[in-house]
Amino acid sequence: MLTTAHPTADPPPTAAARRPRAARQALLLGLGLALLLLCLALSLALGSRSVPLPTVLRALLGTGRHDDPGVQVVTGLRVPRTVLGLVVGAALGAAGAVAQGATRNPLASPTTLGVNAGASFAVVTAIYALHLDQPVQYVWFAVAGAALAACAAHAMARRTGDLDPTRLALGGTVLAAVLTSWTSALMLASRRTLDEARFWLVGSLDGRGLDVLTPVLPLLLVGLLLALAVAPALNALALGDEAAQALGVPVARIRVAAGLAVVLLAAAAVAVAGPIAFVGLAAPHLCRVLLGDDHRLLLPGCLIGGPILLLTADVLGRLVVRPAELEVGIVTAFLGAPLLAVLARRATR
């Protein structure tokens, strides 16, 4: 009987070959951290009113004069905004990496799977029916909506017991379109709901204090721990369900844990900043180009890359129409739409 080797199978790298690669990956992660620190500094310094970096440093150290307008801007407005950008960007980046790994779909993200749309629909429904008016009240509605949307997209993607990545992307896109239409209908039905929800739905880091993080921190921590726990198993899932099962990976349980991680991370991010698109799609792809496909490195890379993308978009939104500003959700959508088109074209090839 004739046997043939897999045409793309490569011999495993030797220890000598792995050492330079590991050194390169460590260097890239270090450079990523340095770039993240630069983004944090720019986020604190730039805006409708630029603040010199020495003033920013004095404000952070508490040595600046309290009547200094620059110190007041940094401590009162930009520190909360920058911290929220750091947390939300990390959550979206990690959620996108786990979603793509668990579904074996390069187009998967909280946006394309309908998770963001589900969370948004639930929040707007709660604003309409329960007259909510504070972001801290949105958390559990966002979680419930994200979970239901994820389950619906997963159910539509099942085919003869297996998860079809193409059907998952199409089902998530259709679900997101339907939920977005229903969300718009609710907002049009109530002027109060429109006034309350429209600023949040655009996706923004402005006008929120650090108190909005308090109710979502447990969700973020649990979601991050789940994501880190399933990262090694996601490498096995990339080989296919049958191969992963042959390696002893409990595929069904890993997918449930990964799905829960995506829901918790995405719902917490949406509850804090609204539905921000494309960060969860772009960060894993950019990190995969630099760090490779190993999710044990890819996930930490996305925890760095996600905030870099979001903070960069936020700073650009402050500068392009200064002294006014564009909300960060508008900037990420504008920059991310061409990326989605390129990725979709590559996926069809």
pLDDT attached to residue 36:
97
pLDDT attached to residue 153:
83
Q: How does residue 9 score in pLDDT terms, banded at 50, 70 and 90?
A: very low
pLDDT in tens, 79-110: 999 999 999 999 999 999 999 998 888 878 88
Residue 226 is part of which domain span?
A: 87-348
Top mean pLDDT of 89-98, 264-273, 319-328 is at 89-98
- Which percentage of the chain shows pLDDT scores above 70? 90
pLDDT attached to residue 223:
95
Q: Does pTM surpass 0.75?
A: yes
Tell me whether residue 53 is in a domain.
Answer: no
pLDDT attached to residue 104:
85
pLDDT attached to residue 85:
96
pLDDT in tens, 26-46: 999 999 999 999 999 999 999
- Which percentage of the chain shows pLDDT scores above 90? 38
pLDDT attached to residue 5:
41
Distance CA 222, CA 200 (A): 25
pLDDT in tens, 292-302: 899 999 999 99
pLDDT attached to residue 7:
42
Tell me whether residue 227 is in a domain.
Answer: yes
Residue 287 has pLDDT above 60, yes or no: yes
Residue 349 has pLDDT above 90, yes or no: no
Tell me whether residue 153 is in a domain.
Answer: yes
Tell me whether residue 38 is in a domain.
Answer: no
Report phi then psi at 163, rounded to 5: -90, 120
Tell me whether residue 73 is in a domain.
Answer: no
In the chain, the number of structural domains is: 1
Residues 264-278 as b or e (16 or more Cβ within 10 Å = b): bbbbbbbbbbbbbbb
Angle at 149 between CA 145 and CA 152, to 5 degrees: 140
Tell me whether residue 23 is in a domain.
Answer: no
Tell me whether residue 137 is in a domain.
Answer: yes
pLDDT attached to residue 35:
97
CA 15 to chain centre: 34
The CATH number of the domain holding residue 161 is: 1.10.3470.10
Whether omega for the bond prior to residue 250 falls within 30 degrees of 0, making it cis, is no
Q: How does residue 143 score in pLDDT terms, banded at 50, 70 and 90?
A: confident
Tell me whether residue 63 is in a domain.
Answer: no
Nearest to 238 by CA among 166, 158, 295: 295
For 119-182, give the DSSP string. Answer: HHHHHHHHHHHH----GGGSHHHHHHHHHHHHHHHHHHHEETTEE-HHHHHHHHHHHHHHHHHH
